[in-house]
A and B are shown apart, each in its own frame.
Chain A
Amino acid sequence: MRRGSFQARLLTLMVCALVLLVAATLTAVHVAGNRNLRHTLTDELGVGARVLNRILAARGRQLTDAARVGAADFAFREAIASADRPTITSALTNLGARVDGDAVFLLSLDGSVDADTLGGQFVGRPFFVPSLVAGSQAGAAIVTFDHRPFQLVVVPVLAPQPIAWVCIGFKIDEAVLEDVRRLTALELSLWAADPAAPPLLISTLPQEKRLALGERTADKVAIAETVRLGSDTYQTMLQPIETGDGSAINVLLQRSLEEARGPLRRLELQIFALSSVALLLAIVAAIFFARGVTSPLRRLAEAAQRIGSGDYSALVGVPHDDEIGQLAAAFNRMGTEISAREEQIRHQGSHDSLTGLPNRRLFLDHLATWIASAKRRGTLVGMVMMDLDRFKEINDTLGHSLGDDLLVEMGRRLRQTIRESDTVARLGGDEFAVMFESAAAANAVEIAQRLGRALEAPFTLGGVSIDVKASMGIALYPLHAEDAGTLMKRADIAMYQAKRNHNAYALYESGRDEHSLRRLAIISELRQAVASEALELHFQPKIDIATERAIHAEALVRWRHPVHGMLPPDEFIPLAEQAGDIGIITKWVLKRAIEDCAGWNRAGFDLGVAVNLSALDIYDAGLPALIGALLHDQGLQPSKLVLEITESAVMRDAAYALRILRDVKGRGITLAIDDFGTGYSSLAHLKRLPVDELKIDKSFVVNLSEETLDDGVIVRSTIDLGHNMGLKVVAEGLESSEGFGILKRFGCDMAQGYFISHPIPSPQLLDWMDKSPWGARPGASLST
């Protein structure tokens, strides 16, 4: 039983209360008993004194009667009448022997001693207790005789008129006191206070105590009410005895306090014993009662702990219909409800609310479990991670509600494609993952293909039929990773690989991870690079096909990385976009490009500069003002600046982007659509954009030749489209003179590519302008 528990406190309370009660009772009994004892003892001693007096008086009467009978004997009277002294003395002796007297006297009627049994020593002398023979009646008295208490009786000798007195003396001895002691349970001590001699103590006390008392009486020490004799303490009462001769005889009545306290002590012991029994019973009762209360409580506490640790299975037995029973029932209800709610929360925590599929966390858990079991069994675990290409665009175009419907439908299709034992999860956004047991990598690829096919059928959402394409990354345990987290990361890397390569799926290749790590490192170093001028600009000239002279140079950023060397923008711009650092780079590029361009113009070259804007940049409302300020600072005409944006960048929030673009356009800056033909193209959309130029993606231009008619058709129709919309058309990626010829024939306005020049730093650009046939020397254009 723990300290502080209910049971312990109840026990303590009861025991304390009982102990206090017992202590109070015992104290009260003890105090009252002792007080009572004093009174009782005083009373007892008083009674003892009266009993002693009664017994002495009765003894006196009894002895008187005996003496009277003895003195009435005819022969005795005859002897007394004989007047012969020896005869008389012998008759007295005989009488004394008959009545057990200690001394016998014959007294004449006038009160003098005629004869005695003490050798005649009193003969002729007056009797020493004259009062006894003053009348004519028999009498008795207590006197001091021979230094000790005597009881004397005097009777007349009748013939038949009194002719003499006979007096018989009886010693008062222990036997008399013993009688009183038997009646009263008191100890008695009697002595004659004879001033002449040490008192002879007659007592019922045992020898040793009698001696102790004797010392006190001999010293005439006043005897206190409470006297200690030997090992006992006595309550005493000193009583003088009425004597016939005026001598002082004292009786000391004594009561042993030990003995007198005996019954009280027995009572106290009985109370103590009864109390102890009651205490024991109370403890037992308290334990039972407390157990009756605490054991259900303890069970409830255990149940609460079980519930706390998540075990809702065991219900508490409901013992009684009392408060505890109600509590137990409430506990059970609570357990059930908590269990249900926890199940719901757990489901919510582990499942995606939209599709009802497991979420990332649960997927990771399952994956870890599967890997653990695969590790034991030596099998493979495969996973596919996928996301939809351009889901954002779909969402933006069709609205979130239909976007959600698409995700739900997609989840359903994935679920239907795989086996029941496999897992499909929605990791977030448009990202899904599938986990399966796989015999080999080929098997995993097959599954990925099956998944891809499942998404091939168009999705019909809100009456609109939509094609979607997903990129999938495949990774397998134990080929690519030893644990679930790594496996997911690698599937993710593979997915990006697929996306980058515009493939439906990609299997993770070892070493990709290092590449990925490098990307991460680069992101963190990029900001540093901007600040420390580790970036530099290269410029690729863009020529006017008609004049065959350079009119713009596209600024392309390079990063001179201390470890990896010169990095092209493809390597870090997407990373900067992901990290949200693209604005810094854009501003740096704009500033530097405008400065350089201003420099060229001051140097006499009539050359504009083109700068690529990221998708994020055109949502920066401060950008137009910034550009305006830069142009103003450098004194550069706005028409010398071309800003290139991708079509898809505008599509994200077309209305907002349009406002920004119109602002830019309003400042006299030229706008160009970059990488035209690779993304979704909406002509209606395009028409509203305030652009001046269209740049055909280099993938269409690079292989442009007389043989490859397909690309040629695209390029030509694009050029026609642009012209029809009133735009100038630029071809990127021109690498051959053949291509140049074709473009010229198609009526393309401008061209850019290795055929003309690689991107080169600003100083070399001026040099190129001087020396290249495309170069526009200062004033040369005028001369042409």
Chain B
Amino acid sequence: MRPLAVFVMLAAARPGAAATTLLVEVRDDKGAAVPNAVVYAVPRARRPPPPSRRAVLDQKNRMFVPHILPIQTGTAVTFPNSDNVRHQVYSFSPAKRFQLPLYAGTPQGPVVFDKPGVVTLGCNIHDQMSAYIVVVDTPYFALTAGGPAELPGLPEGTYDVRVWYEGMRNEPLPQPVSLGAHEQQSLTFRIGKK
């Protein structure tokens, strides 16, 4: 939480800009809240600031943790191995092809995801292990849990709000939203059957 706090503090300290919080809700066709959906807002006018931090995708108990990891384009992700068996992490996804040959502990260096897109990760030893790294061109993203995801600290401006969830066939249309100063807005995605 500490880096996040730092980040929030930084955002709040930015001069000349008032920050707003956007609440995004994802519901399925039955109206139930869909968890683990990635929601993110892409500003139309300005380029978003470059990523300022690193991300970690751990491997514990022959599982990737977290299962879904949203990151901003250009983020370097480290793949520590917390298990006592070795893993071979790979991706054949067009957004990022790579493989980390069998290793234990922390690999030599992080992998930088420099293209937006969904990268599907697997372990060549353990077929049941899978994880998704959702690389987006914005620092404003969040994962839904039991309720709406909260995108705090959005500067004034117009955004395209998008969503991605596991098993998604066709991406729901982005929802444009204009945010004023100190304004809190919410919106909802209705998705079809998973």
- Is A340 part of the contact surface with B, judged by Cβ < 8 Å? no
Measured CA separation A78–B130 after assembly (Å): 17
Q: What are the interface flags for B90-122 relative to A under an 8 Å C-beta threshold, 1 for contact and 0 otherwise?
A: 111100010000000000000000000000101
Do B97 and A160 have beta carbons less than 8 Å apart?
no
Do A81 and B127 have beta carbons less than 8 Å apart?
no
CB neighbours (8 Å) of B91 from chain A are 159
Measured CA separation A78–B123 after assembly (Å): 13
Measured CA separation A81–B129 after assembly (Å): 19
Q: Which of A72-107 contact B (CB under 8 A)?
A: 72, 74, 77-78, 81
Contact partner, A81, options B97, B124, B130, Cβ 8 Å: B97
- Is A158 part of the contact surface with B, judged by Cβ < 8 Å? yes
Q: Which residue of B lies closest to A163 (CB)?
A: B92
Do B97 and A161 have beta carbons less than 8 Å apart?
no
Measured CA separation A163–B122 after assembly (Å): 13
CB neighbours (8 Å) of B124 from chain A are 74
Q: A77-B92, A81-B92 are in contact. Are A159 and B97 (CB under 8 A)?
A: no
CB neighbours (8 Å) of A77 from chain B are 92
Contact partner, A78, options B92, B128, B129, Cβ 8 Å: B92
- Min CB distance B94 to A, Å, is 8
CB neighbours (8 Å) of B127 from chain A are 72, 158, 160
- Min CB distance B51 to A, Å, is 26
Measured CA separation A159–B124 after assembly (Å): 9
CB neighbours (8 Å) of A158 from chain B are 122, 127
Count B interface residues, CB 8 Å.
Answer: 13
CB neighbours (8 Å) of A74 from chain B are 90, 124
Measured CA separation A245–B154 after assembly (Å): 56
Measured CA separation A77–B93 after assembly (Å): 12
- Min CB distance B33 to A, Å, is 24
Measured CA separation A72–B126 after assembly (Å): 12
Query: Looking at chain A's contact residues, is the secondary structure mostly helix, strand, loop, or mixed?
Result: mixed
- Min CB distance B194 to A, Å, is 13
CB neighbours (8 Å) of A78 from chain B are 92
Measured CA separation A650–B76 after assembly (Å): 194
Q: How large is the interface on A (under 10, 10 to 19, 20 to 34, 35 or more residues)?
A: 10 to 19
Most buried by A among B92, B122, B124: B92
Contact partner, A161, options B90, B123, B130, Cβ 8 Å: B130
- Min CB distance B122 to A, Å, is 4
Measured CA separation A566–B124 after assembly (Å): 177
Measured CA separation A81–B120 after assembly (Å): 12
CB neighbours (8 Å) of A163 from chain B are 92
- Min CB distance A106 to B, Å, is 14
CB neighbours (8 Å) of B129 from chain A are 160
- Min CB distance A176 to B, Å, is 31
Q: Which residue of B lies closest to A160 (CB)?
A: B122
Q: Which residue of B lies closest to A82 (CB)?
A: B92
Q: Which of A139-178 contact B (CB under 8 A)?
A: 158-161, 163
Q: What are the interface flags for A395-406 relative to B under an 8 Å C-beta threshold, 1 for contact and 0 otherwise?
A: 000000000000
Measured CA separation A765–B90 after assembly (Å): 198
Measured CA separation A158–B128 after assembly (Å): 10
Measured CA separation A163–B128 after assembly (Å): 15
- Min CB distance A324 to B, Å, is 100
Measured CA separation A72–B122 after assembly (Å): 12
CB neighbours (8 Å) of A81 from chain B are 92, 97
Q: Which residue of B lies closest to A158 (CB)?
A: B127
Measured CA separation A22–B92 after assembly (Å): 82
- Min CB distance A675 to B, Å, is 175
Q: What are the interface flags for B121-160 relative to A under an 8 Å C-beta threshold, 1 for contact and 0 otherwise?
A: 0111001111000000000000000000000000000000
Q: Which residue of A lies closest to B92 (CB)?
A: A81
Q: Which residue of B lies closest to A80 (CB)?
A: B92
Q: What are the interface flags for B73-101 relative to A under an 8 Å C-beta threshold, 1 for contact and 0 otherwise?
A: 00000000000000000111100010000
- Min CB distance B87 to A, Å, is 13
Measured CA separation A163–B130 after assembly (Å): 14
- Min CB distance B142 to A, Å, is 23
- Min CB distance A109 to B, Å, is 10
Q: Which of B13-65 contact A (CB under 8 A)?
A: none
Q: Which of A462-505 contact B (CB under 8 A)?
A: none
Q: Which residue of B lies closest to A78 (CB)?
A: B92
CB neighbours (8 Å) of A160 from chain B are 120, 122-123, 127-130
CB neighbours (8 Å) of B120 from chain A are 159-161
- Min CB distance B193 to A, Å, is 14
Measured CA separation A163–B118 after assembly (Å): 13
Measured CA separation A356–B120 after assembly (Å): 155
- Min CB distance A777 to B, Å, is 198
Measured CA separation A159–B119 after assembly (Å): 11
Q: Which residue of A lies closest to B91 (CB)?
A: A159
Measured CA separation A81–B92 after assembly (Å): 6
Q: Which of A41-97 contact B (CB under 8 A)?
A: 72, 74, 77-78, 81
Q: Which residue of B lies closest to A74 (CB)?
A: B124
Q: Which of A274-288 contact B (CB under 8 A)?
A: none
Q: Which residue of B lies closest to A159 (CB)?
A: B92
Q: Which residue of A lies closest to B128 (CB)?
A: A160
Measured CA separation A623–B129 after assembly (Å): 173
Measured CA separation A161–B92 after assembly (Å): 10
Measured CA separation A77–B97 after assembly (Å): 13
Q: Which residue of B lies closest to A81 (CB)?
A: B92
Measured CA separation A161–B119 after assembly (Å): 11
CB neighbours (8 Å) of B128 from chain A are 160
Q: Which residue of A lies closest to B124 (CB)?
A: A74
- Min CB distance B8 to A, Å, is 35
- Min CB distance A81 to B, Å, is 4
List 16 A-B residue pairs with CB atoms under 8 Å apart, sorted by A's residue number: A72-B127, A74-B90, A81-B92, A81-B97, A158-B122, A158-B127, A159-B92, A159-B93, A159-B122, A160-B120, A160-B123, A160-B127, A160-B128, A161-B120, A161-B130, A163-B92
Closest 7 CB pairs of A and B: A81-B92, A160-B122, A159-B92, A160-B130, A74-B124, A161-B120, A160-B127
**Residues of A in contact with B (beta carbons under 8 Å apart):** 72, 74, 77-78, 81, 158-161, 163
**Known pairs A159-B120, A160-B123. 15 more at Cβ < 8 A?**
A72-B127, A74-B124, A77-B92, A78-B92, A158-B122, A158-B127, A159-B91, A159-B92, A159-B93, A160-B120, A160-B122, A160-B127, A160-B129, A161-B120, A163-B92
